[in-house]
Amino acid sequence: MQQFFPLITNQINRRSQQEFFRKSTLPHCELEVLGKGFQRMIKEIRTKRIDIADWFILAQKADELQIKQHETKELISLQFLKERWQQAGVIPYPHQINSATRVIHKLQGQAILADEVGLGKTIEAGIILKEYILRGLVQKVLILTPASLLWQWYHELYEKFGIVAGIQRTKWDWESAQILIASLDTAKKEPHSSIIRKRNYDMLIIDEAHKLKNNNTLSFKFVNSLQKKYCLMLTATPIQNNLKELYNLIGLIKPGQLGGFSTFKSRFMKDKRTPKNPNELKELLSQVMIRNRREEGTVRFTKRIVHPVVVSLTPKEQDIYEQVTNFIKESSQRSGVTNILPLITLQREVCSSFLATALTLEKMMANMNEKDLSVAAKILQELAETKQNSKCDALEKLIKDLDDKVIIFTEYKASQKYIRYRLEKLGFSTLAFDGSLSRGKKNWIRCMFQKEGQILVSTESGGEGLNFQFCNQVINFDLPWNPMRLEQRIGRVHRLGQTRDVHIYNLVTKDTIEEHIMYLLHQKINMFESIIGELDTILLNLKLGKTFESEIMKIFLKHEQDVLREKLDQFGEEILEEQEKIKNANWNFF
């Protein structure tokens, strides 16, 4: 094989990347003569790197083909990514391809991608980004996301689009990486924000863009001051409470599209939640925003089938449960509800496994007063003596009946270990997933599970950001109290690409708090069978984002069993009312 010439482009100094000289020729037209090619030519002449003519002639043909590629109206990224997508199991949906085509050819690369939850906004953004990169229009890219989604973005871009991005860690990363994923919260702070403002990005992508709805926030002002050529903003909820939120978001993408705010107010706002001239507004919005809906039938999701598995505790287990519950209630009465978190954990663990309960109780004992200590020691003693676990027995029975792949979710690592111990004793081989594993190990385990494994025992944090569409059975060994976390669990398997109905088995211990939680999540708000698209908005509006568990615990501690159901009913009603309110808001104009 003939010797390749080294890549010289990298050695060209910075000055040559800038324009070589600039003149004005036609009216309004700027001529930019770039020095990159010239400098490279001079360098090759000086160093006597004379290319072999056959390669040179071939390269000319290659250049022509490359330009032909750039000229085509079709999305070349679809062809480019075909094999990668076959390997990764990605199936692009028509609405995603249409959105990407529209953004590139009609919206000039500036758009709010406002598809409803689960329709694949990230895939759309990835296609657009890849297309621009392949066409040579985009090199410098900044992706701003919430901190929790940094790795998910990294992983998606690499796995699905072959785009190697960097994750921002230090202030030097802003200048060194061409494609950078960063947390919006970090980026908006100094010294980072000043560095970023000086840079000129070819493309800016903002995930969870509804966080920029308020134009008085630092986040909004920061994003507004960034220099970019193309911009994509991803959000499922471009309006949450007020039409001004939408106006602000549009102002970030294309200021002036809806006029000044007073014009917008007089032309398009009846009140803060009701639009005027919806058709005209819709027309203007369609020039900057794309929204695909589930009900449009672009995507058919398979069904979620729920199988509650009610487990009766043995008298001994029931006795321990009562002891732990009483202990929690008494402790909370003494300490007030200020330090409720360990008690919530304990209450949830006692419904999961005694091993998990014992470990937490042991930790708590370090800070207990003498009275509590003696009670806790007695409970610990009983926990240690109890060999039976009815929930695990039920799980074993269930697993024996399921012959396909299954993911078992638990909240606790101790329970995870115990489940694996019990199942492996029965001869099942299991794989484990938890938050402490590196991304590489997680991928490897995911691959093992896809190819050979039957059972994967995972904690919630372990499964974050990974998709298991090849599996359609989920067992919730214990129930998370927060519906968002429950949705995340189910969302690992019930998402785009799932071809079979998803079976969800919920192990619920009878006569425990778990039974009430199950009632609230399943019967009351029907969490399992329907996807509540606006769940995050509902929780945000009810100010329940992080305190959902605490609210339930407060209800549980304050009320006796007989009124508990009634109180949970009220709580559920509030959620449903808020959901209805959001549904009925006149947001259907976009």
Partner 1 sequence: MEFLLIEEVPTILKQVIFNFFKLCDLTPREIRAGVWQVQINEELMKELDGWRAQARLLQFTFDQKLAESYGADLICIGSYRLNSILEVIQKQGIFTHLHISHNVFHEPNIRKKVLNELGSENRVYVVNESQMHGQYLQLKILARTISLEKKESIHTLNVNLSSGEVLKFAISPHLIEPGKGRVTDIRKRKCSFKKAFSNAVDYLIKTPQFADPGWTEKAWETFEQEKSKLRSFFNETDEDDIYSLKVKELKNKYAPKLQIDIMRSAVLFTPLFFYKLILIKPSGQEQSRNVLYDPISNAYELN
Tokens of 407: 């993911």
Residue whose CB is less far from partner 1, 55 or 421: 55
- Applying CB under 8 A, among 38, 172, 421, 444 the residue interacting with partner 1 is 38
- Neighbouring residues of 456: CB distance < 8 A, sequence distance ≥ 6: 405, 406, 407, 408, 430, 431, 432, 433, 445, 449, 468, 471
CB of 77 to partner 1, least distance (A): 8
Q: Which is nearer to partner 1, 256 or 297 (CB)?
A: 256
Enter the tokens of residue 326: 């009483």
Q: 43 vs 581, which CB is nearer to partner 1?
A: 43
DSSP state of 313: P
- C-beta of residue 202 within 8 angstroms of C-beta of residue 129: no
Stretch that binds partner 1, among 35-43, 117-125, 396-404, 514-522 (CB under 8 A): 35-43
Site for partner 1 in 48-107 (CB under 8 A): 49-72, 74, 76-84
CB of 109 or CB of 465, closer to partner 1: 109
* Smallest separation, CB 226 to partner 1 (Å): 9
Least distance in angstroms from the C-beta of 48 to partner 1: 10
564 CB-contact burial (10 Å; exposed 0-12 / middle 13-18 / buried 19+)? middle
Residue ranges in 96-115 that form contacts with partner 1 under rule CB under 8 A: 108
Of 137 and 377, the one with the shorter C-beta distance to partner 1 is: 137
Told to check if 8 binds partner 1 by CB under 8 A, we report yes
The position carrying tokens 């030097």 is: 172
Task: Compute the distance between CA of residue 407 and CA of residue 472 in angstroms, rounded to an integer.
Answer: 9
User: Cα torsion for 179, 181, 186, 191, to the nearest 10°?
Assistant: -10
Nearer to partner 1, 101 or 488 (CB): 101
Cβ of residue 238: shortest distance to partner 1, in angstroms?
18
Q: Name the segment binding partner 1 (CB under 8 A); options: 19-27, 304-312, 477-485, 524-532.
A: 19-27
Q: Are 525 and 483 in contact (CB under 8 A)?
A: yes
- Span between the terminal Cα atoms of the chain, in Å: 59
Q: Toward partner 1, which CB reaches closer, 44 or 515? A: 44
CA separation for the pair 419, 417 (Å, rounded)? 6
Neighbours of 19 (CB within 10 A): 13
Binding-site residue total for partner 1 (CB under 8 A)?
78
Residues 221-280 touching partner 1, rule: CB under 8 A, are 224-225, 227-229, 251, 254-257, 259-263
- Sole window of 36-44, 409-417, 426-434, 464-472 interacting with partner 1 (rule: CB under 8 A): 36-44
Check residue 305 for interaction with partner 1 (CB under 8 A). Answer: no
135 within 8 A of 70, measured Cβ to Cβ: yes
How far is residue 186's CA from residue 183's CA, in Å, rounded to a whole number? 5
In the bound state with partner 1, the residue whose beta carbon lies nearer, of 23 and 451, is 23
H runs (alpha helix) in 386-438: 390-401, 413-425
Per DSSP, the three-state class of 587 is coil
Q: How far is the CB of 220 from partner 1 (least distance, A)?
A: 11
**Residues of this chain, 135-194, that bind partner 1 according to CB under 8 A:** 135, 137
359 binds partner 1 (CB under 8 A): no
Q: Please, which residue, 265 or 417, has the CB nearer to partner 1?
A: 265
